Amino acid sequence: MKSIQTKFLILILGCVILCSAVIGSAGILCAKRVVDMDSAQIMNLMCEKRAGQLDALFYRIEQSVGTLSVYAQEQLESVEKLKSDPLYIDEYTEKLESVAVNAANNTEGALAVYIRFNPDFTPPTSGIFWSKTDSSGTFQKLTPTDFSSYSPTDLEHVGWYYVPVKNGKATWMSPYTNQNINEQMVSYVIPLYKDNVTVGVVGMDINFAVVENLVADIQIYRNGYGFLTDETGMVMYHRDLDLGTQMGRLDSSLVPAANELENETSGSNLFTYQWNGQEKKMAFRTLRNGMRLSITAPVKEIDQSKNDLIRLIIIAVAIISILSVVLTVIFTRRLIRPLKELNDAAKKIADGDLSISFTHKAKDEVGTLAESFQKTVSHLQQYIDYINGLAYRDSLTGAKNKTAYQEAEKQMDEKIRLGRPEFAVAVFDINNLKIVNDNYGHDFGDMLIIDASRLICRTFRHSPVYRIGGDEFVVILEDDDFEKYSVLLEEFQKNIEDHNKNARVDNSLSIARGIAVYSSDTDLVFANVFKRADSAMYQNKAAMKELERAARI
């Protein structure tokens, strides 16, 4: 049977909780509605503003190409002369060149300008083509693409001509990478007509970095950002995804978002979707060139102000509850406090938080239970720390494993996103490991891997060393090691030579290596630097094999 004190406490708490629940629920519902409307307005206004900036850029480009198109049509005397008079073609082309180059020089981000004539009745290289050899260079006159070398169906090489002509209207082409200058471009092309005859096209290639920079500058809340897709949900620019990635095929959780972009159903409300187990909300607008500008942010950040307000309401309710029951608590706290402390500790442990301590030091049964509980948690924390250490350590060599490398890659990507870090990536690969395994057994192969790991770790002792494959190691060089990486590579070669002087034939080391230094101009993510280092390593491996082959001859 419950005591009077217990019944009294239940009665007071019941009344307080009931009143608090009614008032608190009303406040929470109002806060949710107001904050949801406010967050939707913030993201939509941001999206509208940035879309306006991009549309203004596209409009200026369209105006520049459109003006050049009008000029080209006005200067053309007749289609017949263009078809039959080679001298007139040269005269007409020369008349257009200075205007075209001037238009390109006055167009933001222009990398190339061209006016090409219909290959059905003009020479296959007729027209003009001026281009920059790099994004900061000047326009130079180049030989136009030879139409006779490509089929009209070869969209990769001559789609810039045949697609706008087929559309019969000005067309924004999809972004692509110009391998000659290693720049991403987007083209705007207008077909030319005279007397209902297709005369040719006028177009400009625009440095897509101009568009990317506008999108990359978008930041909302703490981790919100902007990205570009086409009407099918294919990525045009994204801080984490490569150009051409189809969002709907990347992950099933992104299919609804891709459908939303394709259906062009943007409005005042935000669209909710899941990505990497995180709930996000997105606002987007369709740009004048058909692309979709999206702004996305995690729901937990969007709802931060709402959660803060709810937290204040809860705190207020808690204060009222405390004041209402203070007299009862005074008589019961000696029993309730230690039990509550144990209960709170159990909840923290259930949530994964082991940073607990007990203030109850009584010698009674509750005090003994608290002490045993504290010891159990301490042992559990030690065991978890031990397990975590094993998870990031390669069992054979003691170097960091691939899981640790993946975590480091994420951290480096974040550094790249926030600034321009100075670092280099070195990749090492043990030569002839398969031969050793086949001839002497895998135990000898493991010894070879261990020796290689020791040499790498000893040389690069101030930098993290990762074993990411059977015979492949990666070192991330920063600070002092980055500054003297060439000296360290020489020291590494000397260490190998010293090792091989006293090693048996089956225990000698041959290690290919490659290194790449991060460049903010070309490396968008850490993986770009790794790929260059990996490529350099394979080139070094090939050179070493060639030397071995020559030595045997």
The residue whose two tokens read 């094993």 is 390
**Residue 550: predicted pLDDT:** 79
User: Dihedrals φ, ψ of 268, to 5°?
Assistant: -80, -20
CB atoms within 10 A of CB 541: 18
What angle (nearest 5°) sits at the alpha carbon of residue 208, between those of residues 262 and 295?
Answer: 45
What angle (nearest 5°) sits at the alpha carbon of residue 473, between those of residues 468 and 474?
Answer: 90
In angstroms, the CA 158 to CA 109 distance is: 22
**Residue 365: predicted pLDDT:** 63
**Residue 546: predicted pLDDT:** 87
If DSSP codes are grouped into helix, strand and coil, which group holds residue 502? coil
Judged by average pLDDT, the poorest of 33-42, 121-130, 188-197, 441-450 is 33-42
Judged by average pLDDT, the poorest of 2-11, 67-76, 90-99, 388-397 is 2-11
Judged by average pLDDT, the poorest of 318-322, 480-484, 486-490 is 318-322
Q: Are 276 and 269 in contact (CB under 8 A)?
A: no
pLDDT band of 251, cuts 50, 70, 90: confident
Please, which residues have CB within 8 angstroms of residue 50's CB and are 6 or more apart in sequence? 214, 215, 218, 226, 293, 295
Give the type of residue at 184. Q
Give the type of residue at 304. Q
**Residue 363: predicted pLDDT:** 65
Which tens digits make up the pLDDT trace of 391-446?
788 889 989 999 999 999 999 999 999 988 999 999 999 998 888 888 888 888 89
The pTM of the full predicted model, rounded to 2 decimals, is 0.53
**Residue 408: predicted pLDDT:** 94
**Residue 327: predicted pLDDT:** 65
Token pair in block for residue 170: 């000005």
If DSSP codes are grouped into helix, strand and coil, which group holds residue 254? helix
**Residue 323: predicted pLDDT:** 76
Average pLDDT score, the chain = 85
β-bridge pairing 271-275 and 176-178: unpaired
**Residue 357: predicted pLDDT:** 67
**Residue 1: predicted pLDDT:** 47
Which tens digits make up the pLDDT trace of 484-494?
999 999 999 99
In angstroms, the CA 485 to CA 516 distance is: 10
Alpha carbon of 4 to those of 8, 13, 223, 328: distances in Å?
Answer: 6, 14, 54, 11
**Residue 134: predicted pLDDT:** 76
pLDDT band of 136, cuts 50, 70, 90: confident
**Residue 362: predicted pLDDT:** 61
pLDDT at 52 over 90: yes
pLDDT at 263 over 80: no
pLDDT at 468 over 60: yes
**Residue 483: predicted pLDDT:** 93
pLDDT band of 360, cuts 50, 70, 90: low
pLDDT at 177 over 70: yes
Across the range 345-354, mean pLDDT stands at: 67
**Residue 268: predicted pLDDT:** 65
Which tens digits make up the pLDDT trace of 32-42?
677 677 788 88
Q: Which of 113, 117, 131, 120 is nearest to 67 (CA)?
A: 113
Across the range 196-216, mean pLDDT stands at: 93
